[in-house]
Amino acid sequence: MVVRRIGLLTSGGDCPGLNAVIRAVIKTAVNEHSIEVVGIEDGYEGLILRRTRKLGLEDASGILTIGGTILGTSNRANPFGYPTERDGEVVFKDRSDEVVSYIGELGLDALVCVGGDGTLTIAHRLFREKGIPVVGVPKTIDNDLYGTDQTFGFDSALSTATEAVDKLHTTAQSHHRVMVIEVMGRNAGWLALGAGLAGGGDVILIPEVPFRVEAVCEVVEERVRRGKRFSIVVVSEGAYPQGGEPFVRRRVADSMESARLGGVGEWVGQEVERLTGMETRVTTLGHLQRGGTPTPFDRILATRFGREAVKLIASGNFDRMAALHGTEITSVPLDEVAGRQRRVPLDSHWIACARSLGVGLGE
Amino acid sequence: MVVRRIGLLTSGGDCPGLNAVIRAVIKTAVNEHSIEVVGIEDGYEGLILRRTRKLGLEDASGILTIGGTILGTSNRANPFGYPTERDGEVVFKDRSDEVVSYIGELGLDALVCVGGDGTLTIAHRLFREKGIPVVGVPKTIDNDLYGTDQTFGFDSALSTATEAVDKLHTTAQSHHRVMVIEVMGRNAGWLALGAGLAGGGDVILIPEVPFRVEAVCEVVEERVRRGKRFSIVVVSEGAYPQGGEPFVRRRVADSMESARLGGVGEWVGQEVERLTGMETRVTTLGHLQRGGTPTPFDRILATRFGREAVKLIASGNFDRMAALHGTEITSVPLDEVAGRQRRVPLDSHWIACARSLGVGLGE
Amino acid sequence: MVVRRIGLLTSGGDCPGLNAVIRAVIKTAVNEHSIEVVGIEDGYEGLILRRTRKLGLEDASGILTIGGTILGTSNRANPFGYPTERDGEVVFKDRSDEVVSYIGELGLDALVCVGGDGTLTIAHRLFREKGIPVVGVPKTIDNDLYGTDQTFGFDSALSTATEAVDKLHTTAQSHHRVMVIEVMGRNAGWLALGAGLAGGGDVILIPEVPFRVEAVCEVVEERVRRGKRFSIVVVSEGAYPQGGEPFVRRRVADSMESARLGGVGEWVGQEVERLTGMETRVTTLGHLQRGGTPTPFDRILATRFGREAVKLIASGNFDRMAALHGTEITSVPLDEVAGRQRRVPLDSHWIACARSLGVGLGE
Amino acid sequence: MVVRRIGLLTSGGDCPGLNAVIRAVIKTAVNEHSIEVVGIEDGYEGLILRRTRKLGLEDASGILTIGGTILGTSNRANPFGYPTERDGEVVFKDRSDEVVSYIGELGLDALVCVGGDGTLTIAHRLFREKGIPVVGVPKTIDNDLYGTDQTFGFDSALSTATEAVDKLHTTAQSHHRVMVIEVMGRNAGWLALGAGLAGGGDVILIPEVPFRVEAVCEVVEERVRRGKRFSIVVVSEGAYPQGGEPFVRRRVADSMESARLGGVGEWVGQEVERLTGMETRVTTLGHLQRGGTPTPFDRILATRFGREAVKLIASGNFDRMAALHGTEITSVPLDEVAGRQRRVPLDSHWIACARSLGVGLGE
């Protein structure tokens, strides 16, 4: 089959490097293979609501360093279950056949889907159930995708998180405080562990290692005994106490008195203050981790992934995801990736490293 | 009077540039005037609890670029009312006479107090009531000190806040969201106004202009009509709705379910989402604004202030605060500064500028 | 006169903040005054070669944070003397009448000229000699324009230069070297003085203070005696030795062996190495100082200047330049600005500050 | 053998991450293995001139984020050939036996040598010829060490170089210029290739691919034809024209007229200007690439390497270098590393990627 035209979509949470992928897909497709690229707006939503536009070399110009995605994205649009209001209730409707028709009308020979686990699982279903030739590109700032050593976006988020830890350090020291910082990572602790190691955190709490708040306090107090009247605690949003459950950030929005129920970071901060009597402050880093210009590492990785996606298509290799193995770019079947997570192994070198350096893990 | 030895303390919230002041005080005192410098630890607490150390040229080495303060600081230590526990209750005890004695024992001919309104008010009382020759250096990231065009620390905090707005911009755009960011500024809106202007915010809410949430929504919806499906709202922590009161961030700490009652940023976010139906996300920047290496502007301003403090002492000008007027460093009586605030004038150029650019102020 | 349409050009060397001015001009003109804006490409060259385009609100979108100028610029295009080749020789031809005609054809009621001394001098002539209603906006990374406390671009260049000094510091220290860094500033030493103060330089050489290389060496050697085996020397490109002349960077381009004749930084480096025997390294910062995203300070200043330019036009105040005086934006007659330079006064506070801190000025 | 005390030295050119290695060695040795650490000053020079000091946990505090090395370094001190002046001439004297004696006196059971190829080759000789138990840690910003996927320092240098390319981009675009930037990399093009890919360079010249200047001009001119009136050329300092030889930067230091003979970057700039007639500017990035705070990636990698060095010693594995293979830390024999270089393979993915994106390699 000669590929003449491909579709490209970015889906799921914002992530530095998306535009670098888009640029690499366009340049490789147009320059090397004379393939046309059709940009699909706002992830799968553009396939459902029929919003697309042609992407030429001029669209690839000047976007490499810019955060976000020029195509837009959406978190919840799923062709196999698109939310629709019926009689005042939200029901989920399978609109995948419409999507298949639209892809046909657009004359797309293949589809590049850039996203995380959810995005890639949908891509895999589009291939398996509907016969759409898809290729995936792994994106997540959490770095918890299966099948690749690293996702693009992680290095940039790590950079933002580490810079935040650096900033809190001097304040902690000047005020003799415990500073708690909650970073992203609902299921995997890569970001907290990375920022903790890179920022010189004293305690790192991750979802893979349920913690005891007493163990956190022991580290803090041991440091005080050694003359260090401050501590830095880095917490994954998905960390939780032994015997407890992951925190769910809830929102109550009915009055000016309304409250956001805090996450695990705030709970840890309160408990540490209560148990040690030390002044404690909590920072929840939030969406800052998704934004900003990508790091050079992520720009290069995203560029390599984008090129690989086109190469896979040009050589007829579908239902696969571009992946980093060691220093090489390769690909893995989407089937192996979909629905799985790459969590921090308890015997991983990063964890061993944290232990050797005397970092507390809340055990 | 020949000045032979001076004391130096940093007090109040952490602020980029404190070490630059310390460095300039030491260098100017030792190099130019052969004055000894005694560092007082943790602000006024060091005078009460008798914690001091000698500061020589070697202590000034390598600290210019480092955030925080090598002397430590405290927020609550006041010689005229130091918290003491008596019969299980906290009472405030006047320990200013002890402080005067200690200053005498140390042989200090004068005292440099680096801090905000609270710190400088105490300094003024030490001079007026106890005859201690004091000189003040104006510090606050909020820029709300009276008597100086700008405080050191503000430019650095503005840099951190603007960088955060920049990062949220691309996410807002990619996801078609309203992004609300709450920055510091309990009484004055300089930081929100500055970060809003510098970051291209669409709405800026400050304490000086009580807002209507409907006016915020109007801007957001007008932008949607013009094809801009995202908006950035920058909010001072001290902003509040017309007819309402400033939010007080409260903490309830009795169970794992406990909640931090959100600030004004979260309330605005919830209201905008409720009223417009648009997806909204809130970021509370918090302590990140106090940390990090100072900007060149702040390093220079802090250096100039530190030098001026020593010059004032060497020329016998006490009870004054170093100040920036235009491009010049001068000084003003502490009496004019203490207990007053420099809020954003409603007819200021920054506000006029925001209006001209079409930025909403929530009116 | 009712102003309906204005022209806007950016001219001279690249400078962070140009796009912020463009954005503010467009937004203020269109939003507040319903004035149309015509963008002139590549500075005065666009007026001579007739290259313009309409600028609407959509052109102002997303450019605030981006370096460079979306209108392009040129260094040498002067309507009163435009270089033309005739018989193999370059002659300068007065094309100002063509420019006047073109401005008439475009229906421009006024012209905003953003640039440095050269740009503003031409603007002034266009007003005085040709009756074109002009308004100027002061731009230069050197900060040497007369009539304003500061130009936009300076704070950003200072930020780049200071960051470079910071980076060289640790290398100097680790290798026990003298690191010389040459920064921009042909006629005025603001940038070197600022980066030297902010970066903790040990010697600062500026055009206003002709130096003796022996005095530089004395500082370096005195530091060695005090146990500091490294030194940082910050040099303006326009600095020169006592009794000598400013260096002119020449280029000889005739063979692979060809050489760029070094600037003053390299000469100082060689002399210091020769005279002290200490290992010395030279960095010439060059064009990096002109690029990058503007600092928040520059974004705000550029925005205020851009707005002021439109206000001046709307109120019929021509032949003036927007200016910063203290914290206020005002304006000054171009006649006072053209052909003059704001050099560092020898009795300025920055220089006094450098002396107090023990920084050598090569005297 | 029970290891009780080890020596630690950093040698060769400055590199971000050295202090992170030092910190990890101290923390792992002291915390986990109760091994004492002796710091050797200025690389091998400290072993020859007997300058050492004890390193405790307190020395590891606060250095993680700081560039340079607290131990100092030297480029030329070799125990097997230490330069000595004899009768006005420099001769190289073998002082390795003195070094062995000194190591014995210090009671060192092993030696950790952090450095590049030169440093590690000496370490290997100390083991093989003198029986000193050594372990190496691979350091170079050039990333050209054999036996490891990446060295620490490279990611930080790449970050500095890419930021510089970003800054030049807007200037190039605004002025319609060719901007040439010369980055480090005498033997290998990793840094130029990385910064070129990450910064969106149009031409990348590396030592592995001798270039034709005509091919560079073709890219530049082809871009002009496509409406892009600017180009970015990233050049390794070790790049050279086909049929030519690598440039050697020479210094002539005998008069004020003296010149630094330019490097390949300047030559390329001059040739491109001469052949295309386009305005061209050259930036030589120089020592900035060695300085600054390490990136999170480098901090983590350096930490892992430092820990691994201690682990190797504790388990009696000498004459090996810590290495990164994929995501794992392992070790390789120094014999395989010494005297070899890891250049960019012509069939590497980075080069394929550059080609696919239409980047010129000067072929």
Per-residue pLDDT at A324 exceeds 80: yes
Q: Contact at 8 Å (CB) between D9 and D46?
A: yes
Q: Among D14, D42, D117, D142, which one carries the catalytic annotation?
A: D142
Q: Identify which of A37, A118, A30, A128 has the alpha carbon closest to the alpha carbon of residue A77.
A: A118
Interface test with B, best of A40, A174, A256, A288 (most B CBs within 10 A): A174
Residue B69 has φ and ψ, to the nearest 5°, of: -140, 130
Closest Cα to residue A163, out of B159, D157, C352? Answer: B159
Q: Show the tokens assigned to B259.
A: 């909640």
Given the residues B142, B144, B202, B319, the one annotated as active site: B142
* Strand pairing class (B82-86; B89-93): antiparallel
User: What integer pLDDT is reported at residue B249 of this predicted model?
Assistant: 57
Rounded to the nearest 10 degrees, the angle between the axes of helix D349-356 and helix A18-27 is 70
What are the sequence ranges of the domains in chain D? 5-152+294-337, 156-290
Q: Does B296 touch chain C (CB under 8 A)?
A: yes
Q: To probe the interface with B, which of A73, A156, A275, A288 has the most B CB atoms within 10 Å?
A: A288
Are C51 and C42 within 8 A, CB to CB?
Answer: yes
Q: Hey, is the C-beta of B345 within 8 angstroms of any chain C C-beta?
A: no
Residue B358, CA distances (Å) to B202, B362, C23, C316, D113 in order: 8, 12, 12, 23, 61
Q: What is the C-alpha separation between A217 and B227, in angstroms, rounded? A: 51
Q: How far is A292 from chain B (nearest CA, A)?
A: 4
Cα A230 from Cα B72, distance rounded (Å): 11
The mean per-residue pLDDT over the stretch A73-97 comes to 92
Cβ of C176 within 8 Å of Cβ of D42? The answer is: yes
- Start-to-end CA distance of chain C, whole Å, equals 56
CB A163 within 8 A of CB A265: no
Asked whether the predicted pLDDT for residue A259 surpasses 70, the reply is no
Q: How far is CA A198 from CA A155, D69, D199, in A?
A: 12, 17, 25
SS3 C239: coil
Structure tokens at B9: 């303390």
Question: Which chain C residues are within 8 Å of D267, Cβ to Cβ?
Answer: 256, 258
- Per-residue pLDDT of A290-305, as tens digits, reads 999 999 999 999 999 9
pLDDT value of residue B246: 78
DSSP one-letter code for C201: -
Structure tokens at B156: 């650095």
Taking an 8 Å cut-off on Cβ atoms, the answer to whether A356 and D31 are in contact is: yes
A260 contacts B260 by C-beta, under 8 angstroms? yes
List beta partners, residue D178.
Answer: D231, D280
Assess contact for D25 and A353: CB atoms under 8 A: no
- Mean pLDDT along residues B86-92: 89
pLDDT of amino acid C181: 97
Note whether D67 contacts A: Cβ–Cβ < 8 A. Answer: no
Which chain C residues are Cβ-neighbours of B228 within 8 angstroms? 61
Beta carbons of A18 and B176 less than 8 Å apart: no
Contact list, B162 vs chain A (CB under 8 Å): none
* Phi and psi torsions of B196, nearest 5°: -70, -45
Residue C251 has pLDDT above 80, yes or no: no
Contact B243, B183 (CB under 8 A): no
Contact indicator for D238, D187 with CB cutoff of 8 Å: yes
Distance between CA atoms of residues C154 and C150, nearest Å: 7
Chains that touch C (3 or more CB pairs under 8 A): B, D
D261 vs C contacts (CB less than 8 Å): 257, 259
Please identify among residues 228-257 of chain D the ones whose CB lies closer than 8 Å to any CB of chain A: 228
Q: Does D158 touch chain A (CB under 8 A)?
A: yes
Q: What does the pLDDT look like over A163-206, one tens digit per residue? A: 999 999 999 999 999 999 999 999 999 999 999 999 999 999 99
Beta carbons of D349 and A328 less than 8 Å apart: yes
3-state SS record for B348-363? CHHHHHHHHCCCECCC
3-state secondary structure chain D: CCCCEEEEEECCCCCCCHHHHHHHHHHHHHHHHCCEEEEECCCHHHHHCCCEEEECHHHHCCCCCCCCCCCCCCCCCCCCCEEEEECCEEEEECCHHHHHHHHHHHCCCEEEEEECHHHHHHHHHHHHHHCCCEEEEEECCCCCECCCCCCECHHHHHHHHHHHHHHHHHHHHHHCCEEEEEECCCCCCHHHHHHHHHHCCCEEECCCCCECHHHHHHHHHHHHHCCCCCEEEEEECCCCECCCCCCCCCECCCCCCCCECCCHHHHHHHHHHHHHCCCEEEEECHHHHHCCCCCHHHHHHHHHHHHHHHHHHHCCCCCEEEEEECCEEEEEEHHHHCCCECCCCCCCHHHHHHHHCCCECCC
A170 and B66: CB-CB below 8 Å? yes
Confidence (pLDDT) at C252 = 38
The minimum CA-CA distance between C221 and chain D, rounded to whole Å, is 19
DSSP annotation string for B170-197: HHHHHHT-EEEEEE--SS--HHHHHHHH
Burial class, C104, CB count within 10 angstroms (exposed 0-12 / middle 13-18 / buried 19+): exposed
Provide the ipTM: 0.95
Among A142, A155, A298, A319, the active-site one is A142
Q: How confident is the model at residue C85 (pLDDT cuts 50, 70, 90)?
A: confident
Triad C198, C204, C207: Cα angle to 5°? 120
Best residue of A23, A300, A310, A312 to probe chain D, by most D CBs closer than 10 Å: A300
Separation of CA A3 from chain center: 31
Percent of chain B exceeding pLDDT 70 equals 96
pLDDT in tens, D235-278: 999 999 998 877 765 443 333 333 345 789 999 999 999 999 99
- Give the pLDDT score at D251: 43
Mean pLDDT, rounded, for B339-346? 95
CA atoms of B68 and B73, how far apart (whole Å): 9
How confident is the model at residue B330, as a pLDDT?
97
CA D140 to CA D298: how far, in whole Å?
A: 11
Catalytic positions of C, written as ranges: 142
CA distance C206 to D249: 28
CATH class, range D156-290: alpha beta
Rg of chain D (C-alpha set): 22
Tell me if B262 and A266 make a contact (CB, 8 A cut-off): no
The Cα-based distances of A222 to A214, A216, A268, B241, D26 in angstroms read 12, 10, 18, 46, 19
* Residue D297 contacts A, CB cutoff 8 Å: yes
Asked if pLDDT for residue B253 goes beyond 70, the answer is no
The interaxial angle of helices C349-356 and C190-199, nearest 10 deg, is 40
CA-based R_g, chain A, Å:
22
Q: How confident is the model at residue C253 (pLDDT cuts 50, 70, 90)?
A: very low
Chain B adjacent subunits, 3+ CB pairs under 8 A:
A, C
Q: Do B157-290 and B5-152+294-337 have the same topology in CATH?
A: yes
**Is B303 in Cβ contact with C149 (below 8 Å)?**
no
Q: Give B227-240 pLDDT, tens digit per residue.
A: 999 999 999 999 99
Q: A-contacting residues of B 266-295, CB under 8 Å?
A: 266-267, 270, 273-274, 281-284, 286-288, 290-292
Which amino acid, B358?
G
- Cβ-Cβ contacts under 8 Å for D2 (sequence gap 6 or more): none
Amino acid at site B88: G
pLDDT exceeds cutoff 50 at A226: yes
CA distance B71 to D55: 24
Closest to C349 (Cβ–Cβ): which among B155, B329, B356?
B329
Write phi, then psi, for D149 (nearest 5 degrees). Answer: -65, -35
Confidence band of C76 (pLDDT split at 50, 70, 90): confident
Q: Do C260 and D266 touch (CB under 8 A)?
A: yes
> Could you tell me how many CB contacts below 8 A there are between chain B and chain C?
120
Q: Which of A27, A297, A347 to mutate to test the interface with D (most CBs of D within 10 A)?
A: A297
Bridge partner residues of D360 (DSSP): D203
Of A225-229, C88-92, C134-138, D134-138, give the lowest mean pLDDT range: C88-92
Name the amino acid, one letter, at C84: T
Spatial contact of B94 and B81, defined as CB atoms under 8 Å apart: yes
Q: Which helix (H) or strand (E) holds A321?
A: strand A320-325
Across the interface, of D256, D281, D290, the residue whose CB is closest to C267 is D256
Please say if the pLDDT value at position C255 is more than 90.
no
Percent of chain A with pLDDT over 90: 91
Alpha-helical (H) ranges within B294-348 are 296-314, 334-337
Task: Give chains near A: 3+ CB pairs under 8 A.
Answer: B, D
CATH class of segment(s) D5-152+294-337: alpha beta
Q: What is the pLDDT of residue C244?
A: 83
Residues in chain A within 8 Å Cβ distance of D148: none
Percent of chain C with pLDDT over 70: 96
CA C294, C295, C299, C305 torsion-angle sign = negative
Note the helical H segments in C146-189: 154-175
Q: Which residues of C touch B146 (CB under 8 A)?
A: none
Average pLDDT, chain A: 94
Structural contact between residues D117 and D145, judged by C-beta atoms closer than 8 angstroms: yes
Q: Decide if C199 contacts C359 (C-beta within 8 A).
A: no
Question: Going by DSSP bridges, is the β-strand pair D231-236/C231-236 parallel, antiparallel, or unpaired?
Answer: unpaired
Chain B from 71 to 110: CB within 8 A of any A CB: 72-75
Mean pLDDT value of segment B287-304: 97
d(CA A130, CA A108): 14
Cα gap C77→D279, rounded to integer Å: 14
* Residue B241 contacts residue B210 (beta carbons within 8 Å): yes
Looking at domain B157-290, its CATH superfamily turns out to be Phosphofructokinase domain (3.40.50.460)
CA distance B142 to chain C (A): 15
Q: Is the predicted pLDDT of residue C258 greater than 70, yes or no?
A: no
Instruction: Please state, in angstroms and as integers, the Cα–Cα distance from residue C296 to each residue in A188, B197, C79, C303, following that order.
Output: 36, 8, 34, 10
- Which chain B residues are within 8 Å of C295, Cβ to Cβ? 159, 295
Contact flag C307-B353 (C-beta cutoff 8 Å) = yes
D142 is catalytic: yes
Partner B contacted by C223 (CB < 8 A): no
The letter for the amino acid at D360 is G
Q: What is the DSSP secondary structure assignment for residue B59, as one 8-state letter?
A: G
* pLDDT interval class at B261 (50, 70, 90): low
**D174 at C interface, C-beta within 8 A:** yes
Mutation target vs B (from A11, A169, A260; most B CBs, 10 A cutoff):
A260
Residue A195 contacts D, CB cutoff 8 Å: yes
pLDDT at residue C265 greater than cutoff 60: yes
- pLDDT category at B250 given cuts 50, 70, 90 is very low
Q: For position C287, what pLDDT does the model report?
A: 94
Separation between Cα atoms, residue C19 and residue C24, nearest integer Å = 9
Q: What is the mean pLDDT of each run of 10 residues along chain D (363 residues)?
A: 94 96 98 97 98 97 95 93 90 96 98 97 98 98 97 98 96 94 96 98 98 97 96 97 76 36 86 95 95 97 98 98 97 96 96 97 96
Q: Is residue A130 pLDDT above 80, yes or no?
A: yes
Please name the member of D166, D228, D303 whose beta carbon is closest to the beta carbon of A197: D303
> Is the pLDDT score of B148 beyond 80?
yes
User: How distant is the Cα of B122 from the closest Cα of chain A, in angstroms?
Assistant: 19
Residue C249 confidence (pLDDT): 57
pLDDT category, A258, cuts 50, 70, 90? Answer: very low
Is D281 in contact with C249 (CB distance < 8 Å)?
A: no
Question: What's the gap in Å between the CA of D256 and the closest CA on chain A?
Answer: 41
Q: Is D291 close to C260, i.e. CB distance below 8 A?
A: no
Residues 6+ apart with CB under 8 A from A315: none
D149 lies within 8 A of chain A by CB = yes
Q: D166 — contact with chain C (CB < 8 Å)?
A: yes
